[in-house]
């Protein structure tokens, strides 16, 4: 009965995949305890693991970051682009604005704020491509590289798993949000066997690692903003209170569910973000921002392939490993989660619409914000209005962001807005993560239902616990290392999803018409 199914889904008890849930959650809690109890050992292990991975597989990460762009382009502009995720006359489940808003806030979040103001300063001091530090050329490329690292490639990486998962949900109508179901062509035929379970556990741990990285960067940011705004002390206690507040906020949102919680926060955040961007452009050095953005457009497109494949094989200065490979690893660790979330909200759209919407709108949003935020901090540094590089060296990234924002007119007002924006940004990212982690840990989950509330809240608490562990292990490099280590097992999983999708497309659509929209016909009943 429909009512009975709904009540079962709400509790989450009947459909909970106990093996995936308990093994994954206990592993997360164990790792968190170990990082808290032995922070120096944890930091050393994480950093040595990162060095080994980037040294031996750095080239592979750069190639793995390129493949999604090619594959997604083939899907969008090839013969399968008009296939629709849903029925022929079915309208999209969410408006385009809400759809884009949920994708953007869930994926980039406040990390974009932190890195948008801080990342260019790193590149001035340690520029890429053999450029002299603090030179005019270093300033130009310091504006370009954040756009590259947050642009087409990450959104294509997110888009790659979205298509097979959406295909699984809305064309095959699979009652599940498990990554293993989207890899079925390369897995044993017996569903939920050991290999299926292991794959889902790896995905869960990879997602937790990627999300924990965002928390590791986000907590110091929000703490620094609060210190600047409220005058409280910047210490471990303040950081823990930020984590607790966050966990309560995104735990509540996860409890309320997709439409009442996540969508509402996303809609609020998109409005606040456009307000912040307009304020920076109008109240800041408008002409300088327009000039450097135009210049960066030319540098970006004329050097895209060079930046994509640059391994620094001769000088071996470490830039690709420290930045480009780290970023690709971060996006890859996030990819299954984003694929599941993006797919869940993409019902009623075609493959072409989904691909172009994710890569197009996503890249445009990051380009606009990074151009303004990065341009503003470079203006302050270049004109001697703020020694951002010195603040970075002596205090770190998060205090720098607070100081840069404080240079804008009406600093109290803009600090308040950006603090609220950051808190909600991270809340939308993490309640989306809790929602998806709970979905992977649910055995049967029809597309119109949500995972159990207790399941969602448990993962919200698990993410908060992992964040505290990372804070204890401490350090910028430790957080980055966590990302790279978490991403490695995800790469073969994404390749398996693509292979399964190709198998499905050839089997389900051996012949395609020239119609603008095509849906899969149900098999005739005998």
The model's pLDDT over 176-188, given as tens digits with 9 standing for 90+, comes to 778 888 888 887 7
Per the structure, the complete domain to which residue 35 belongs is given by: 11-508
Residue 298's pLDDT band (cuts 50, 70, 90): very high
The CATH number of whichever domain residue 449 belongs to comes to: 1.20.1740
Helices 152-170 and 325-344, interaxial angle, to 10°?
30
Which 3-state string (H, E, C) describes 147-211?
A: HHHCCHHHHHHHHHHHHHHHHHHHCCCCCCCCHHHHHHHHCCCCCCCHHHHHHHHHHHHHHHHHH
The answer to the question of residue 5 being in a domain is no
Instruction: Tell me the longest C-alpha to C-alpha distance in the chain.
Output: 78
pLDDT, position 413? 87
Judge contact between 76 and 356, C-beta under 8 A.
yes
Tokens representing 329 are: 């690893």
In a domain, 358, yes or no: yes
- Which residues make Cβ contacts (< 8 Å) with residue 156, sequence separation at least 6? 68, 69, 72, 359
Q: Output the CA–CA distances (angstroms, integers) from residue 245 to 28, 307, 420, 425, 471, in the order listed.
A: 20, 39, 12, 14, 15
* Paired residues of 83 in beta bridges: 518
Percent of the chain with pLDDT over 70: 86
Domain assignment present for residue 92? The answer is yes
Whether residue 348 is contained in a domain is answered as yes
Q: Per-residue pLDDT for 5 more than 50? A: no
525 lies in some domain: no
User: How do residues 51-90 score in pLDDT, each as one tens digit?
Assistant: 888 888 889 999 988 999 999 999 999 989 999 998 888 8
Residue 6 lies in a domain: no
Look at residues 49, 91, 61, 105 and name the one whose alpha carbon lies nearest to residue 366. Answer: 105
pLDDT band at 439 (very low <50, low <70, confident <90, very high): confident
- Residue 518 placed within a domain: no
pLDDT digits (tens, 9 = 90+) for 330-363: 899 888 888 988 998 899 999 999 999 999 999 9
Question: 491-524: b or e for each residue (b if 16 or more CB lie within 10 Å)?
Answer: bebbbbbbebbbebbeeebeeeeeeeebbbeeee
User: Would 377 be classed as within a structural domain?
Assistant: yes
**Residue among 158, 114, 105, 155 nearest 428 (CA):** 105
b/e burial code for range 345-365 (CB count within 10 A of at least 16 → b)? bbbbbbbbbbbbbbbebbbeb
Total domains in the chain come to 1
Average pLDDT taken over every residue of the chain: 83
Q: Which residue has the higher pLDDT, 107 or 11?
A: 107
Query: Region 483-495: what's the mean pLDDT?
Result: 84
Does pLDDT of 8 surpass 60? no
The confidence score (pLDDT) of residue 9 equals 41
322: enclosing H helix or E strand: none
């Amino acid at each position: 009965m429909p009512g009975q199914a709904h009540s079962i889904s709400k509790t989450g008890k009947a459909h909970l995949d106990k093996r995936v849930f308990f093994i994954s959650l206990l592993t997360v809690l164990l790792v968190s305890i170990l990082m808290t109890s032995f922070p120096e050992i944890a930091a050393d292990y994480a950093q040595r693991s990162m060095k080994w991975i980037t040294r031996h597989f750095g080239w592979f990460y750069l190639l793995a970051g390129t493949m999604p762009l090619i594959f997604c382009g083939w899907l969008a502009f090839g013969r399968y682009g008009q296939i629709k995720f849903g029925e022929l006359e079915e309208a999209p489940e969410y408006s385009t604005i809400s759809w884009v808003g949920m994708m953007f806030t869930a994926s980039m979040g406040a990390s974009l704020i932190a890195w948008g103001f801080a990342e260019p300063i790193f590149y001035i001091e340690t520029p890429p491509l053999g450029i002299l530090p603090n030179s005019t050329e270093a300033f130009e490329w310091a504006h370009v590289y954040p756009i590259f690292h947050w642009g087409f490639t990450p959104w294509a990486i997110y888009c790659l798993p979205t298509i097979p998962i959406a295909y699984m949900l809305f064309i095959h109508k699979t009652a599940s949000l498990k990554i293993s179901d989207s890899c079925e062509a390369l897995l044993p035929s017996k569903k939920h066997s050991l290999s299926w379970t292991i794959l889902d556990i790896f995905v869960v741990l990879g997602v937790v690692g990627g999300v924990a990285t965002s928390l590791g960067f986000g907590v110091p940011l929000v703490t620094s903003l609060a210190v600047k705004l409220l005058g409280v002390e910047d210490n471990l206690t303040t950081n823990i209170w930020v984590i607790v507040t966050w966990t309560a906020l995104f735990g509540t949102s996860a409890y309320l569910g997709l439409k009442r919680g996540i969508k509402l926060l996303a809609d609020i955040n998109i409005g606040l973000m456009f307000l912040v961007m307009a304020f920076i452009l109008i109240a800041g050095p408008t002409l300088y921002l327009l000039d450097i953005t135009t210049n960066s457009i030319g540098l970006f497109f004329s050097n895209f392939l060079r930046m994509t494949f640059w391994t620094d094989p001769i000088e071996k200065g470490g830039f690709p490993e420290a930045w480009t490979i780290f970023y690709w690893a971060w996006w890859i660790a996030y990819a299954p989660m984003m694929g599941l979330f993006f797919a869940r909200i993409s019902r009623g759209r075609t493959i072409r619409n989904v691909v172009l919407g994710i890569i197009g709108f996503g890249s445009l949003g990051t380009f606009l914000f990074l151009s303004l935020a990065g341009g503003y901090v470079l203006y302050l540094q270049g004109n001697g209005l703020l020694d951002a590089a010195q603040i970075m060296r002596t205090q770190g990234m998060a205090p720098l962001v607070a100081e840069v924002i404080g240079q804008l007119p009406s600093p109290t007002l803009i600090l308040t807005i950006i603090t609220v924006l950051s808190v909600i940004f991270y809340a939308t990212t993490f309640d989306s993560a809790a929602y998806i982690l709970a979905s992977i840990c649910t055995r049967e989950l029809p597309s119109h239902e949500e995972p159990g509330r207790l399941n969602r809240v448990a993962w919200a608490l698990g993410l908060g616990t992992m964040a505290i562990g990372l804070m204890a292990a401490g350090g910028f490099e430790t957080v980055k290392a966590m990302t790279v280590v978490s991403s490695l097992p995800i790469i073969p999983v994404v390749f398996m999803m693509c292979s399964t999708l190709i198998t499905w497309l050839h089997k389900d659509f051996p012949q395609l018409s020239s119609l603008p929209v095509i849906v899969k016909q149900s098999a005739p009943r005998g």
